[in-house]
């Protein structure tokens, strides 16, 4: 019996567009920005800020070494957040309804503190609520110090969210993350482009 719903953010709840981020960093003068950004995971310094191995100050400092002198921290953060295009209000409404229906609603996301404290928090405020008002618990990669599909982040979520994988349905837009979750006993669905997470909901 499914008691909990565990959501990835990007590509499931939040709409994303990798190319926007690539273009924004290109305009700032970053060489070959496309090499840093994948559809489901980042590389180099962008991976390090997501897995929590560096903080925001170090991220800025290291990027300034490879960007023109006139680029500000604000411009870096703004370019990084172009990855996110928004959250449709209908998805926020769906999350609230699912919580009212009695499901435990949780997040397990590869993300970073810049987006988390900036655009992600803002997008969840569209209904006048806070991000935390939609969820019973949240795990971010930078807090867990691990990235999906590493089993360590799923184990961290199990412990910190106090959820039983057998009673939890996990939603992710990455097939490899879905398979990693299944290997640890989660029920899991691959949310493919052009579909909504509501298309995969279990029947009560």
Question: Which CATH number fits the domain that encloses residue 33?
Answer: 1.10.150.240
Please indicate, yes or no, whether residues 187 and 130 belong to a single structural domain of this protein. Answer: yes
What pLDDT is stored for residue 38 in this prediction?
A: 73
173 and 114 share one domain: yes
Pairing relationship of beta strands 168-172 and 187-190 according to DSSP bridges: parallel
| Predicted local distance difference test score (pLDDT) of residue 203 | 61
Tokens at residue 104, please?
């435990």
pLDDT of residue 43: 87
Residue 204 has pLDDT above 60, yes or no: no
Residue 61 sits in which domain range?
16-83
Residues 155 and 186 in one domain: yes
For 134-169, how does the pLDDT look when each residue is reduced to its tens digit (9 = 90+)?
Answer: 999 999 999 999 999 999 999 999 999 999 999 999
Domain count, the chain: 2
Residues 92 and 56 reside in one and the same domain: no
Axis crossing angle, helix 73-80 with helix 56-64, rounded to the nearest 10: 100
Antiparallel, parallel or unpaired: β 15-16 and 84-86? antiparallel
Q: Which residues contact 91 (CB under 8 A, 6 or more apart)?
A: 13, 196, 197
Query: b/e for 43-74, b at 16 or more Cβ within 10 A?
Result: eebbbbbbbbebebeebbeebeeebeeebeee
**Same-domain check for residues 142 and 45:** no
Do 110 and 54 share a structural domain? no
pTM, to two decimals: 0.95
- For residue 53, give both structure tokens: 């191995």
Last residue of a domain, one of 64, 83, 102: 83
The pLDDT tens digits of the residues spanning 35-73 come to 888 766 788 999 999 999 999 999 999 999 999 999 999
Which residues are known to be catalytic?
A: 8
- Tell me the two tokens of residue 58: 């170090």
How far from chain centre, in Å, is Cα 128?
21
Among candidate residues 63, 83, 103, the one where a domain is terminated: 83
């Amino acid at each position: 019996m499914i008691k909990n719903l565990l959501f990835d953010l990007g590509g499931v709840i939040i709409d994303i567009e990798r190319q926007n981020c690539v273009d924004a960093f290109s305009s700032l003068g970053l060489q070959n920005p496309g090499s840093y950004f994948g559809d489901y995971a980042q590389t180099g310094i962008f991976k390090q800020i997501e897995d929590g191995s560096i903080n925001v100050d170090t991220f800025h400092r290291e990027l300034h070494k490879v960007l023109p002198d006139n680029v500000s921290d604000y411009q870096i953060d703004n370019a990084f957040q172009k990855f996110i295009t928004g959250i449709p209000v209908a998805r926020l409404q769906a999350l609230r309804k699912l919580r009212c229906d009695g499901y435990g609603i949780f997040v397990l996301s590869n993300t970073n503190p810049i987006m988390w404290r900036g655009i992600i928090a803002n997008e969840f405020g569209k209904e006048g609520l806070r991000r935390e008002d939609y969820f019973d618990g949240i795990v971010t990669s930078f807090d867990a110090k691990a990235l999906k599909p590493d089993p360590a982040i799923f184990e961290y979520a199990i412990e910190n969210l106090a959820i039983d994988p057998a009673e939890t349905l996990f939603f992710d837009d990455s097939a490899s993350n879905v398979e990693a979750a299944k290997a640890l006993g989660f029920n899991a669905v691959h949310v493919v482009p052009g579909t909504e997470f509501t298309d995969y909901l279990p029947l009560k």
